[in-house]
Structures are given as structure tokens and as C-alpha cells.
């Protein structure tokens, strides 16, 4: 990033919606870090509290290209794509909170923050002495947001349980809806939707909490159960059962209301197309284009008949689509007013014209790698757009800066914590490497040759 661009970004910071808000984030994996990342993109100063002795799980994942390189071992904790994906534009403060002096330093920082957000277990916060009442005693106006799996009420039945997003999905019934009717539940474990659902609830509740604080002068406790946040997504299904006694389960890619609706194979390995005909007019257009006699087949002449004979219908459509390249067929069907699109892979998305036009991918510098690739913030405000200046930080990269400049500790106090292995700084800061992706980023993002503004 050029000096001019950096200066422009700094000037824009003054215009962002959350400029001046300080956030103390005690988060791991996705739920709490995603909240912090949303806030950081809109100008909040987010301090990610972490420790190499008890690292965030994203620090443990690493990247395959580093696993056999002993010389670059210090780089491994910074190398997972999730580091920037969940932590872009944050500052990393590395403290051992299980040590009294580490907890004291954290409390000193907390006193200067507007927001506390955490997704560690409710019991862990109590054990650390960072439950709501304890934090409010330090900072009476704090907006305290926690996202444990099952809420913070110790009297609730699931309070003692530990949960991750992937195992929340089967608990709430989400997995029972995912997959084909004649097979076991497929699940969506690699994405962990409950983390994102809870994080989006928490993001807007941070804003509501700040609004309430500004009106009343008092802090607020926001208690989000990831379990409940995910159940809320399935409200229509629960309502249907309570009203009719009918429980919805897996239907694969089909629709309850019309056919054909599904995903069908195309030429090539694992290449697919999604097709949906919502009425007889669209079906007739599809049948005429296919020229397979479907238009005169009595089994398919009405939507009711197509739903009754959906197995035969899907088999016929699949046999026909298999002779086409999916992109070619999608364009032809769209031109005839038929809803169709390729089933996109990650590779398809990164080069997709809509994705590129909207700037959904960013390339930004960070201290460990020349540049980092991650997704942009999707919350777009007209006058105060989200701004991302840098990728995710290394563990402890900003420990000294934040503890001295924000928490008000002296340099000597911080250095004493470091000497006692209570506070930590960036490991091997002189070790800077380029990701293998540097070899192809210029192909996908030609403007990156000079600076990174055009991708924001």
C-alpha cells in the first residue's frame, strides 16, 4: 500500500460509523471474532486478547505449504486463511489471563473499552473473574456481549455443556433438514452456520447496547445463546408443526411446491447446474429447448403431474444436462426465462463477475506476509463504507502498543510481564514470507500491481 493510500485510509477512518469505539474481544474460532471483525471494518478499535499458551483454534490450523518447513515454524500460527478472515484490522494483545498479573493487565485495558465480547464458555468467564458483574465493577458503562453455546444462566439445563458450531447444528435440528430424503443427514460441519448466526445477532446487539448506554449512561449485558440463535432460523418449521402436526425433514434439492427443482450433472468432474421451473410456462420453455418429447409427455404436462412423477422427471432432466457444459447451459436457459445457474465452486466465485464488481474479495498487507486475501465486509453504508487496511495480526503483535498507549501501563511494567511469560510479543517479527498465492494474485487482481484501493 502506498503512503498516499495509507493517508487516505487514515482520513477515512474519521468518517466511519464506529470510529472511537474500543472493543475488548476474548474470542476463539468464529462467533466472537466475526463480531469483532464486523466492528473493526466500520472503524472500531478491536483488541483481540489471545495467548500462545492457549491459542485460538485458528492459530492451530495453519497452512499445508508450511507443515514440513522447520525454518518457518514460527509462521505457522499466522498462516491459516481464517486468521485474516476473522481478524482483519484487529490488534493482537497476548496475555496469559490465568496469571494474576496478566488478568490485572487485561482489567486495566477493559477499563478503557466500550465493548466486551466473548464466546468462551460462560463458566470460563466466571472462573476468570470476567463475568458481567465483575467487568461492570471495572467499567460501569460497558456493553458486555457473550455468545456461549447455551447462554449464561447457570440454572438452565445445558449450561454446563461445551459446544462448537458444527455440533450445534444437529442439536437444533438443522442437520435433519440437510441432505436427501433416502439418506442419512448430510450436515454442514465445515461451515458451522450457528457461529455466523449468533455473530450477526451479536453485531447488531452491540450497536443497540451502545445506543442504550448513550441514552442511559449505564452498561448492558447482552446474553446470546448460539443454540437459540440457530433455533430462531428454523422458526417456520416449528410453527408448521405446531399448527398442522406435519414435521419437515430432508428433501434434497427439491421443492415442496413445483418441479423440476434440483441440481443436475453436467460435463466434467463434479460440475453441476441448478434448474428451477416455477410454473407451466417455464416448464414448456425448458421442454421446447430440450426437444426430448417432454412437452407431450402426460406425466409432465402439469405441475401436479410433475410433482407426482418427480423421480422420473429428475432422471430425464439429469440425462439431458449431462451432455452440456454447465456455464453454457446456464446461459442458454437464462436467455429463455428459465431460472438456472452453475453450482459454483470456490474457484468459480473468485472469478465471478458479480463478486469482482462488488469487491467481495480484498487483498491487504500484514506484518507476516506480503499480502493477504480475504472476504470483504458485507455491511455497506453509503456515507461511511467499511474499510479494511490490513490482514489479521500475528499473536502479540500489538501487545506493547496497546498496553502502554491504551491501558496506560508503563513500558517497564509491560516488559516485566513479558519477562515473566505473562505477556507476549510477536514471535520472530523479522521472519517475513510470501504465500504461494503471490504467484497468481496479479492474474485475478491486476490492480494489485500498484495498490489495494480498488478492491475495497
* pLDDT per position as a tens digit, 161-208: 888 878 888 888 888 888 888 888 887 777 788 888 899 999 999 999
Domain match, 220 and 297 both: no
Q: Are residues 71 and 119 located together in one domain of the fold?
A: yes
Residues 222 and 341 in one domain: no
pLDDT recorded at residue 3 = 45
pLDDT at 246: 81
- CATH of residue 266's domain is 3.30.1540.10
Residues 110 and 196 both lie in one domain = yes
In a domain, 241, yes or no: no
Domain end call among 348, 380, 404: 348
Residue 222 near residue 143 (C-beta atoms within 8 A): yes
Q: Which residues of the chain have pLDDT under 50?
A: 1-5, 7-8, 449-456
Task: Tell whether 72 and 219 lie within a shared domain.
Answer: yes
Asked if residues 122 and 154 have their Cβ atoms less than 8 Å apart, the reply is yes
What confidence score (pLDDT) does residue 455 get?
33
Give the chain's end-to-end CA distance (angstroms, integer).
13
Domain assignment of residue 222, yes or no: yes
- Please, which residues have CB within 8 angstroms of residue 336's CB and are 6 or more apart in sequence? 285, 286, 289
Q: How far apart are CA 395 and CA 53, in angstroms?
A: 11
Sort strands 115-118 and 261-265 into parallel, antiparallel or unpaired. Answer: unpaired
Return d(Cα 51, Cα 33) in angstroms, integer.
15
pLDDT of residue 11: 52
Mean pLDDT of the chain: 89
- The pLDDT assigned to 211 comes to 95
Domain membership flag for residue 267: yes
CATH code of residue 57: 3.40.50.10540
pLDDT number for residue 1: 41
Q: Same structural domain for residues 385 and 326?
A: no
Is residue 367 included in any domain, yes or no?
yes
pLDDT at 356: 83
Residue 249 domain flag: no
Domain endpoint, select from 297, 315, 348: 348
Specify the pLDDT at position 303. Answer: 95
Residue 280: domain span: 261-348
Predicted pLDDT at 248 = 80
Among 375, 291, 282, 299, which residue's Cα sits nearest to residue 336? Answer: 282
Judgement on whether residues 169 and 88 belong to the same structural domain of the protein: yes
What pTM was computed for the model? 0.88
Residues 34 and 75 placed together within one structural domain of the fold = yes
Q: How many domains does the chain have?
A: 2
Give the residue from 348, 381, 410 where a domain finishes: 348
> Residue 108 class from Cβ within 10 Å (0-12 exposed, 13-18 middle, 19+ buried)?
middle
Cell numbers of 189, please?
460441519
173 lies in some domain? yes
- Does residue 51 sit within a domain? yes
Amino acid at each position: 500500500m502506498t503512503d498516499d493510500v495509507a493517508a487516505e485510509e487514515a482520513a477515512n477512518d474519521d468518517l466511519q460509523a464506529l470510529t472511537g469505539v474500543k472493543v475488548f474481544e476474548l474470542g476463539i474460532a468464529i462467533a466472537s471474532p466475526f463480531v469483532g471483525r464486523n466492528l473493526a471494518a466500520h472503524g472500531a478499535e478491536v483488541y483481540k486478547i489471545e495467548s500462545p499458551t492457549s491459542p485460538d483454534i485458528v492459530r492451530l490450523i495453519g497452512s499445508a505449504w508450511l507443515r514440513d518447513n522447520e525454518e518457518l515454524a514460527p509462521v505457522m500460527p499466522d498462516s491459516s486463511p481464517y486468521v485474516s478472515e476473522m481478524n482483519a484490522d484487529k490488534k493482537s494483545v497476548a496475555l496469559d489471563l490465568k496469571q494474576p498479573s496478566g488478568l490485572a493487565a487485561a482489567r486495566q485495558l477493559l477499563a478503557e473499552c466500550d465493548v466486551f465480547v466473548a464466546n468462551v464458555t460462560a463458566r470460563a468467564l466466571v472462573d476468570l473473574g470476567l463475568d458481567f458483574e465483575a467487568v461492570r465493577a471495572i467499567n460501569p458503562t460497558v456493553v458486555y456481549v457473550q455468545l456461549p453455546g447455551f447462554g449464561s444462566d447457570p440454572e438452565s439445563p445445558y449450561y454446563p455443556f461445551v459446544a462448537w458450531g458444527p455440533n450445534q447444528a444437529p442439536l437444533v435440528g438443522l442437520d435433519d433438514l440437510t441432505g436427501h430424503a433416502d439418506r442419512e443427514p448430510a450436515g454442514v460441519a465445515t461451515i458451522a452456520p450457528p457461529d455466523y448466526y449468533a455473530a450477526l445477532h451479536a453485531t447488531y446487539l452491540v450497536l443497540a447496547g451502545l445506543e442504550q448506554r448513550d441514552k442511559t449512561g449505564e452498561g448492558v449485558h447482552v446474553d446470546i445463546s448460539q443454540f437459540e440463535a440457530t433455533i430462531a432460523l428454523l422458526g417456520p418449521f416449528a410453527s408448521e408443526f405446531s399448527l398442522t402436526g406435519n414435521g419437515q425433514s430432508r428433501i434434497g434439492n427439491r421443492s415442496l411446491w413445483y418441479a423440476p427443482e434440483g441440481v443436475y450433472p453436467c460435463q466434467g468432474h463434479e460440475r453441476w447446474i441448478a434448474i428451477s421451473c416455477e410454473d407451466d410456462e417455464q416448464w414448456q420453455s425448458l421442454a421446447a429447448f430440450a426437444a426430448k418429447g417432454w412437452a407431450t409427455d402426460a406425466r409432465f404436462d402439469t405441475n401436479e403431474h410433475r410433482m407426482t412423477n418427480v423421480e422420473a422427471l429428475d432422471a430425464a432432466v439429469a440425462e439431458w444436462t449431462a451432455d452440456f457444459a454447465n456455464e453454457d447451459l446456464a446461459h442458454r436457459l437464462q436467455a429463455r426465462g428459465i431460472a438456472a445457474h452453475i453450482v459454483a465452486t470456490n474457484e468459480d466465485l473468485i472469478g465471478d463477475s458479480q463478486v469482482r464488481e462488488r469487491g467481495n474479495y480484498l487483498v491487504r498487507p500484514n506484518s507476516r506476509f506480503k499480502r493477504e486475501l480475504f472476504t470483504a465486509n458485507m455491511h455497506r453504508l453509503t456515507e461511511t463504507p467499511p474499510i479494511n487496511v490490513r490482514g489479521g495480526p500475528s499473536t502479540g503483535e500489538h501487545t506493547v502498543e496497546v498496553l502502554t498507549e491504551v491501558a496506560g501501563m508503563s513500558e517497564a511494567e509491560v516488559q516485566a510481564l513479558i519477562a515473566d511469560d505473562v505477556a507476549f510479543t510477536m514471535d520472530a517479527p523479522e521472519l517475513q514470507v510470501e504465500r504461494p498465492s503471490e504467484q497468481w494474485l496479479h492474474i485475478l487482481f491486476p490492480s494489485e500491481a500498484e495498490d489495494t484501493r480498488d478492491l475495497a
